[in-house]
Amino acid sequence: MKLSAGDFLCLEGDFASSLYIVISGTLVGSCSEQVCTATKRFEPGSIIDVFSLLENAPREYTLKAEEDCEIQVVDNEQLKAILDEKPSWLRSIIEFLIRRNHIGEENKRKSDLVQALPSLLYLFSGLLKELNSNTVPVNLLSERAFRMNGSRPEECRKLLRMLQELGILKIQEDSVQVESRELIHLLYETLRYRALERKVSPNILSMTDQMVLTVFIKLSKQNKDPLRNGLSAIPTSELKAEAKKSMHGMTLTTRTIGSLVEKGILTPDTTLDFHAKLEQSEFFFGDFDHIMDLLELNRIFPLLDKKLVE
């Protein structure tokens, strides 16, 4: 097939069952997908649209002759005729390679998505601080994620939708809104700790710790006293009584509350002697918002990995 300079060979998305081999001249390919916004040049020896030949996949590029070109077209009938002549294992090998390509593509797509999450959270948290707002324009976030990590806008949108399904943000028309700015940062830090320290982050709490904090939050909400510097103060006696009710009759002891004190999530009004009774402290203090964020983090974190690979 001969083309004159400026002629179009095919349009992106056209369904076809043939491939092109450039014999002479140069073709320029363009496509609308974000990943290949730049044009690609095909010079003599280039082979284009292998998957159109093998499985009738749509054309990857709109191809235009940059100069006079000679193109060889190979269609599916020719492929079939050759493979019918050849031993069956050759067909098996080609089919295997096609399968591997698809699996490889799918794995890459998933791994890119997993890879994009930490930087998206990092930038999101940074932008919330920079803009001093609970809302960030989606385009701004995508733009910065692309700069920093090469993440594609569709990956960002997918991750944001996933986080929305987990209930930690809300996508509005062209912006994304969070209820708690700190939660995004906590989520990032927890992922970072897991990846770099190869340990469970201290932000991930045991079931008992979560139950104690749920009791603490419940009492804080009932408490009519205003928060002091964001801190809620709950009398130990009330904490014990409510824990007994909410935690299936479990008695709250210095030991049960100890890990929360050690992590600095709850603070007693006196230095806690871990061998003495819990009543040694009259009150326990805790940052209401931080505890709410921690509980939310512990709710979503186990679901995150599953969501990512869905």
Partner 1 sequence: MNGNSRQQVIPPAHLSVKAGFVVYSHNDQERKIIILDKGELAAVDNSQSPRKIMFTMHPGDLVGVAAILEREPFRYDLEATVDSEITVVGEDCMESELKNIPLWLLAVIRELSAKNRQRKEDSRHSRAGNSLISLAEFCRYQKKDEPYPLEGFVQEFCWQTKASAPSVKEDLKALCRRKFVEISGSVVTVTHPELLELFVDYLETQEQDKPWPPLQLTLNQKKALVRLSIMDNQTPQDPPAWLAYFQKNNITLTAADWIKMQGLGWFANPKENLFVPDSKKVQYFLLALRYEINLRGVL
94 is a site residue for partner 1 (CB under 8 A): yes
- Out of 11, 148, 227, 303, the only residue in the binding site for partner 1 (CB under 8 A) is 148
Distance CA 43, CA 3 (A): 14
103 vs 276, beta carbon nearer partner 1: 103
Q: Extract the runs of DSSP E, i.e. beta strands, from 106-167.
A: 135-137
- Strands 8-10 and 2-3 turn out to be unpaired
Which of 5, 11, 114, 195 lies at the binding interface for partner 1 (CB under 8 A)?
A: 195
187 binds partner 1 (CB under 8 A): no
Q: d(Cα 196, Cα 226) in Å, to the nearest integer?
A: 40
Q: Are 234 and 270 in contact (CB under 8 A)?
A: no
Residue 176 is encoded by which pair of tokens? 């994304």
Q: Give least dist CB 100 to partner 1, A.
A: 6
> Which range binds partner 1 by CB under 8 A, 117-125, 132-140, 234-242, 279-287?
117-125
Q: How many CB atoms lie within 10 A of CB 11?
A: 12
Cα angle for residues 180, 186, 189 (degrees, 5° grid): 155
Residue of 19, 159, 266, 294 interacting with partner 1 (CB under 8 A): 19
Stretch that binds partner 1, among 8-16, 62-70, 126-134, 158-166 (CB under 8 A): 126-134
* Residue 151 and residue 168 in contact, taking contact as beta carbons nearer than 8 Å: no
Quick check: 50 binds partner 1 (CB under 8 A)? yes
Q: Determine if 71 is a binding residue for partner 1 (CB under 8 A).
A: no
Task: Please tell me whether residue 104 binds partner 1 under the rule CB under 8 A.
Answer: yes
Burial environment of residue 111 by CB neighbours within 10 A (0 to 12, 13 to 18, 19 or more): exposed
Give the residue with the Cβ less far from partner 1, 15 or 89. Answer: 89
Q: In this chain, which of 3, 9, 71, 123 binds partner 1, going by CB under 8 A?
A: 123
Query: 74 vs 166, which CB is nearer to partner 1?
Result: 74
Residue from the set 15, 37, 89, 173 that interacts with partner 1 by CB under 8 A = 89
What tokens were used for 165?
């399904």
Residues present in the chain in total: 310
Q: Which two tokens stand for residue 94?
A: 């080609």
What is the DSSP-derived secondary structure letter of residue 78? H
Q: How many residues in the shown chain lie near partner 1 by CB under 8 A?
A: 46
Exposure string (b/e) for 288-308, b if CB count within 10 Å is 16 or more? bbbbbbbbbbbebbeebeeee
Residue from 144, 257, 260, 272 in contact with partner 1 (CB under 8 A):
144
Residues that bind partner 1 (CB under 8 A): 19, 21, 23, 47, 50, 53-54, 72, 74, 79, 82, 86-87, 89-90, 92-94, 96-98, 100-101, 104-105, 108, 111-112, 115, 118-119, 122-123, 125-126, 129-130, 144, 147-151, 192, 195-196
